[in-house]
Amino acid sequence: MTSRYVPLVDFKPDLRSAKAARIQRGLAIRVLRVITLLLLDTLSLTLAWKLAVFYGTPIDSPWTEKSSFLLLILVVELGMIASKGLYNAGIHRRNYGLLVKAVTLSEFFLLLIAFLYEPQRYISRSTFLLFWLFSVALICANRLVFDFATKVLRKVGVIRYPVFLITDVEDQESSVKLIEKENCYNIFGVAEASSLDRDNREATLEFLHNRGIVEAFVSWNAIKNRLYVSWHFLNAGITLRILPTEREVLPPKSILWMIGEVPCLTIPAPIIAGGDFWLKRCFDLFCAIILLFLLSPLYLLIALLIKLDSPGPVFFKQNRIGLHCKQFKIWKFRTMVTNAEKLQASLEAKNEIKDGVLFKLKDDPRVTRIGKFLRLYSLDELPQLFNVLLGEMSLVGPRPLPVRDVERFKTTHFIRQEVLPGITGLWQVSGRSDIDNFEDGVKLDIAYIENWSLWLDLKILLKTIKVILQKTGAY
């Protein structure tokens, strides 16, 4: 068992934390594409409006007299086009049907604004109709010209993304042909699926980063059962694209994407890798400091009650298994008799967790009178704010488990040790102690890791307050 623990000298950061802030690879080309399309659409809409005013029925109207209304038109039109995802890469910007729909909707919106702004004055209907026709024609035309110019440049090797392919040997040839169909990639290398195994993963990511790879195409066979692989690509600033598979289960944060006519999945890299995690750590530290200051009177009251209730120390410290299986001391208010851990062996037969990985007993005879009250409202967990300050825990994350529990882990359970443990988590707000199967709890922990975001942490914290007040599953 001790071989699974990571020594302090080999300590690794949280799975979600990048070693260094890295800007998304290929971002410059993507930004240049969006800026170019915005400029072309702006020129097209401006020209369409000038032509509509020139050829439309001349009516005295603030829309044709004030230049500020042209700015409003551009904001509405460009905003509607952007909201439909028509500045995204690939087939998105070439969706001419959706482009016509976006222009039409913005025209109706502009007519509504015109009526509400000057209901007593006439608006030239011919001007707006001509503007719609010219807008559709010119914007579609500039997209055609943009696509033609892009194809010409890519044929001579310009604005092509350096990519890398990771897949099984038998699938490599077909995967290369599929990628080459898009005509916007330079394949810098191919590796087998084993390059993403635990022992090879870091070297592979470092190699891709040093070679300047922007996107990695990975077959599902190379990523399945390794849910944390996507986080390593995110932190390397490399966009992960998952090649077609017969599996119906889609990985988290995935987006449907096309290579020609073939649907694929992609997990895009963030603009700044690891930025959200460091915001989370700053939030943890800020909240821990504020809560320790505000709750200090409550700490003193609980300490006094524990001393009056039973002999022994106020705090209970226990070895728990944290990030990357590193042991640390977790702090809690003591809720049991002093020899509770020695008595546990005699109570193992009464364990209410079905698979026996965890130890839970509803009417545990070791719990003191004040301990039952503290557990009912989770007040015994308050000292773990010190663990948060020390960087051993977070406010939200998978709960750190005792050595006895981790020794019974299967290999698939260790994914939960890849992120910083928390005072509360998705498992705790989804049933607390009422969940009597460890596998169900691990599924919730994995769901948290897969779908993690700052917003999810905030929802879990708010739900934790509700669960504690309702005393759901507490014992």
Any idea which residue has 């209901």 for tokens?
A: 119
pLDDT of residue 9: 46
Distance CA 234, CA 220 (A): 17
For 99-157, what is each residue's pLDDT tens digit?
999 999 998 888 887 777 665 555 677 888 898 999 999 999 999 999 899 888 888 88
More confident residue, 255 or 193: 193
CB-count burial class (<10 Å; 0-12, 13-18, 19+) for 472: middle
**Of 332, 354, 473, the residue nearest 400 (C-alpha):** 332
pLDDT of residue 345: 63
Q: What type of residue sits at position 289? A: I
Asked if the model's pLDDT at residue 352 lies above 70, the reply is no
Lowest mean pLDDT among 16-25, 275-284, 373-382, 431-440: 431-440
| This model's pTM is above 0.85 | no
CB 245, CB 220: distance < 8 Å: yes
What is the structure's pLDDT at 335?
86
- Supply the pLDDT for residue 287: 94
Beta bridge partners of 186: 162
Question: Domains in the chain, ordered, with CATH?
Answer: 29-155 (no CATH), 160-267 (3.40.50.2300), 275-470 (no CATH)
Q: Which of the residue ranges 204-213, 221-230, 332-341 would you say has the lowest mean pLDDT?
A: 221-230
- d(C-alpha 250, C-alpha 201), whole Å: 22
Mean pLDDT across 296-306: 93
User: For residue 302, what pLDDT band results from cuts at 50, 70 and 90?
Assistant: very high
Note the pLDDT of residue 90. 73
Look up residue 17 and give its two tokens.
């934390």
pLDDT score of 331 more than 90? yes
Label residue 89 by pLDDT band (50, 70, 90).
confident
d(CA 278, CA 39): 35
DSSP state of 20: S
Residue 243: predicted pLDDT: 82
**Would strands 422-424 and 185-191 be described as parallel, antiparallel, or unpaired?**
unpaired
Question: Which two tokens mark 195?
Answer: 């390059």
Q: Are 25 and 240 in contact (CB under 8 A)?
A: no
Average pLDDT over residues 306-333: 91
pLDDT digits (tens, 9 = 90+) for 141-158: 999 999 899 888 888 888
Mean pLDDT (whole number) for 77-81: 92
User: How large is the average pLDDT for residues 289-318?
Assistant: 92
Question: For 270-287, what is the mean pLDDT?
Answer: 87
Contact 447, 257 (CB under 8 A): no
Q: Rounded to the nearest 10 degrees, how much is the dihedral formed by the CA atoms of 223, 229, 234, 236?
A: -110
Residue 206 has pLDDT above 70, yes or no: yes
| pLDDT bracket for residue 294 (50, 70, 90) | very high
Please tell me the predicted confidence (pLDDT) of residue 347: 66
Per-residue DSSP letters for 410-431? Answer: -GGGGGGGGS--EEE-HHHHTT
**Exposed/middle/buried for 305, CB within 10 Å: 0-12, 13-18, 19+?**
middle
CA dist 351 and 474 (Å) reads 16
Give the pLDDT confidence of 223-248 residue by residue, as tens digits: 765 566 788 888 888 888 888 755 44
Identify the residue whose tokens are 């705790």. Answer: 428
What whole-number percentage of the chain has pLDDT above 70? Answer: 82
| Distance between CA atoms of residues 286 and 389, nearest Å | 9
Report the C-alpha dihedral over residues 335, 338, 342, 344, rounded to 10 degrees: -20
Of the spans 15-24, 255-264, 422-431, which averages the highest pLDDT?
422-431
Percent of the chain with pLDDT over 90: 29
| Structure letter (DSSP) for residue 436 | -
Residue 362: is it exposed, middle or buried by C-beta count within 10 angstroms (0-12/13-18/19+)?
Answer: exposed
Q: Please tell me the distance from the alpha carbon of residue 38 to that of residue 306, in angstroms, as a whole number.
A: 66
pLDDT in tens, 365-384: 788 889 888 988 889 999 99
330 — pLDDT class (breaks 50, 70, 90):
very high
* pLDDT greater than 50 at residue 285: yes
Task: Give yes or no for residue 1 having a pLDDT over 50.
Answer: no
**Residue 466 pLDDT exceeds 60:** yes
How far does Cα 147 stand from its chain's mean position?
32
| Both tokens assigned to 201 | 């993963």
The mean pLDDT value of the chain amounts to 82
Q: Rounded to whole angstroms, how far apart are CA atoms 88 and 67?
A: 30
Query: What would the 3-class secondary structure string for 68-122 be?
Result: HHHHHHHHHHHHHHHHCCCCCCHHHCCCHHHHHHHHHHHHHHHHHHHHHHCCCCC
The DSSP code for 250 is: P
